[in-house]
Amino acid sequence: MTRSINLIKKNHYRGLKHLQNTLDNFFSDAWWPTQTNELWEEFQLFSKLSEDKENYYLEVDLPGVKKEDVKIEVENNTLRIQGERKGEEKKDEVKRHYSEVFYGSFIRDYNLPNTVNSNNIKARYVDGVLNITIPKSPESKAQSIKIE
């Protein structure tokens, strides 16, 4: 499932997802486990967007994901981040009660405004954090207009 988000708009439903997860955890067997139940959910990307006069800055948390397992593409004003957080080897002698750590593939689309220079996007990956710098095009920058 691909999740798409506009680069310049905030996701207003994130709090509802958190509430749903909290209630699910409250009413699940995680409090009083009777068996080993493994719940598989999709790996979620959490990101932060900021900007200045020159650029947009997108910061994406990818804990436990290796740099070589991440791919970034730009096509038709859509920035796509995809990859995989690979799972750990299961050990037969270990009894797991529950896990809040999720593994699996992920895809996230960010719709870019028309006022970016997509040819000069730069990405840097350090300590599980992907930092993407998206330059604004010269046309989008504020200009002073002389009053005659």
Domain spans of the chain, in order of start: 3-25+45-87+96-140
Q: How many C-beta neighbours within 10 Å does residue 97 have? A: 12
Q: Output the six-digit token pair for 137.
A: 């095009």
- Any idea which architecture 3-25+45-87+96-140 has in CATH? Sandwich (2.60)
62 in Cβ contact with 46 (< 8 Å) = no
Q: How far apart are CA 146 and CA 121, in angstroms?
A: 32
65-106 pLDDT, tens digit each = 999 999 999 998 899 999 998 877 677 777 777 777 777 888
Q: Kindly indicate the confidence band of residue 126, based on its pLDDT and cuts at 50, 70 and 90.
A: very high
